[in-house]
Amino acid sequence: MATTYSSRGADPATAVPFLEQFDRVRGELPGAALTWMRDLREQGRARFAELGLPTVRNEAWKYTNLRPLDKLRFVAASEAPASVGIDWLPTVRTDGSAGPRLVFVDGRFRAELSSTAGLPAGVELLSLAAAFASHADLVGEHLGRLAAADDLPLVAFNTAFLADGAVLRVARGVSVEQPVELVFVSAGDEAQPTSFHPRTLIVAEPRSRITVVEQHVGLGAATTLVNHVAEVFVGEGATVRHYKAQREGLSAFHLSHTAATVATDAVYDNFILTTGARLSRNEVTSVLAGTNARTHVSGGYMVRGGQHVDTTTFIDHAQPNGTSREVYKGTIDDTARAVFQGRIVVRPGAQKTDGHQLNRALLLSDTAEIDAKPELEIYADDVKCSHGCTAGELDDQAMFYLRSRGIPQDEARGLLIGAFLAESLEEIAEDPIREAFQAIVANWLEKR
């Protein structure tokens, strides 16, 4: 059960340059020897050839225009120049040590920067390319089940080109105390726009517990396109906390789709902090597929200059006694633009649902803009659901209060912006990770 994509406004011509690349590299892509993977890729290729890149004529993409992608000539990662040096990697570990993590550069796994040390028995963490060889049954059972190529053009795009990514499986009853970090570095080539299509697969078996932190960063000024897809299976009574920070360079395009299914008595938390990329869109779908399931889908963003950030969410209450909470807050400066599309559906029979959605934006200039479209569809009669959506400017009285106590104007603005964003950061359940994300916010404010 997921969102569906109408073919209205499809522009198949935009797919042609990418498909020509696919036809050149299809035999080199990892997993090409597996019949089911070849079939899955061909399905993705066929659907992407039919739809092309989304256009603003489709309601789901009304406020985000991907036309700039069509004007650039991206090459796939396998055609791009190889490795680059890495002397810094982001982490949420306060002591700076390297915990369990997988690192990907331009979409490809880098073993020398990665580690699985410290993981308990029952946890498997490996690259998707390696999993095709050693865990083909696990990947074949789950890949493409939650993020189907038929439904979404960018998922189809990813499915056709996917070459590498992360596979994480936590066995029944296993709790992982330290976070697993997935670091995606975009380096690219300044002479040639480059595209990558990473895929993440997380399988948390019943009564397991895991925290995953994604970091997406960029090196240099190359123009890159990241088209990331994540599928998250949260088993009965399991807990998955899934946090992401996206701070790629201002020449980057970042498109991401996360699809999660949450079983009975299970918990899925998703939080996304966005400061980077020229254009970014984070799409999150969480389906409460079991009774007493809970999900938190929240985030924050800070954009300026000509940046464009799109947050699109879908929370599907499919069973009774489900709880969802959604808190998004963001600041928009200069001529930047933000989009928020949040949809909550309560299915027939999903009685005793408790759903809440809040979206607030702070406009820091007269030319900043936000388009917001909250949606609430209820087909059950014994539910408690609410949503709120506001956009405004900095509080003049609060500014006057701070200035009257001798605080310089820039510092006062920074204090108020930080306080505004703090409410969304409170949705991060784990203190060390919240503090790491607060540091990202503070760094952004210092550079204003």
Residues 337-355: tens digit of each pLDDT? 999 999 999 999 999 999 9
pLDDT at 281 over 60: yes
Average pLDDT, the chain: 92
Supply the pLDDT for residue 79. 56
Mean pLDDT calculated for residue range 112-129:
95
Domain ranges for the chain, please list them: 12-290, 395-447
Query: What's the token pair of residue 247?
Result: 């701070």
Q: What is the pLDDT of residue 335?
A: 97
Spatial separation of the C-alpha atoms in residues 286 and 260, rounded to whole Å: 5
CA distance 434 to 404: 31
The pLDDT of 44-50, averaged and rounded, is: 93
Per mean pLDDT, which range of 59-63, 96-100, 177-181, 314-318 is the poorest? 96-100
Within 8 A by CB and 6+ apart from 232, the residues are 146, 202, 204, 240, 242, 258, 259, 260, 261, 268
Closest C-alpha among 199, 250, 181 to residue 77:
199
pLDDT at 7 over 70: no
User: Average pLDDT, stretch 303-318?
Assistant: 97
What are the distances in angstroms from CA 242 to CA 251, 268, 393? 26, 8, 31
Q: How would you write the chain as a 3-class SS string?
A: CCCCCCCCCCCHHHHHHHHHHHHHHHHHCCCCCCHHHHHHHHHHHHHHHHHCCCCCCCHHHCCCCCHHHHHCCCEEHHHCCCCCCCCCCCCCCCCCCCCCEEEEECCEECHHHCECCCCCCCEEEEEHHHHHHHCHHHHHHHCCCCCCCCCCHHHHHHHHHCCCEEEEEECCCCECCCCEEEEEEECCECCECEEECCEEEEEECCCCEEEEEEEEEECCCCCEEEEEEEEEEECCCCEEEEEEEEECCCCCEEEEEEEEEECCCCEEEEEEEECCCCEEEEEEEEEECCCCCEEEEEEEEEECCCCEEEEEEEEEECCCCCEEEEEEEEEECCCCEEEEEEEEEECCCCCCCEEEEEEEEEECCCCCEEEEEEEEEECCCCCEEEEEEEEECCCHHHHHHHHHCCCCHHHHHHHHHHHHHHHHHCCCCCHHHHHHHHHHHHHHHHCC
Asked whether 414 and 448 are in contact (CB, 8 A), the reply is yes
123-127 and 165-170 strand pairing: antiparallel
Model confidence at 98, in pLDDT bands (50, 70, 90)? Answer: confident
Quote the Cα angle for 354-267-288, to 5°: 55
pLDDT band at 270 (very low <50, low <70, confident <90, very high): very high
What percent of the chain stands above pLDDT 90? 77
pLDDT at residue 372 tops 90: yes
Distance CA 5, CA 19 (A): 20
* pLDDT tens readout for residues 158-190: 999 999 999 999 999 999 999 999 999 998 888
How confident is residue 81, by pLDDT bands cut at 50, 70 and 90?
Answer: low
Distance, in Å, from the CA atom of 255 to the CA atom of 274, rounded to the nearest integer, reads 12
Beta strands at 165-170 and 75-76: parallel, antiparallel or unpaired: unpaired
- pLDDT tens for each residue of 240-262: 999 999 999 999 999 999 999 99
Q: Are 276 and 245 in contact (CB under 8 A)?
A: no
CB-based contact 290:317 (threshold 8 Å): no
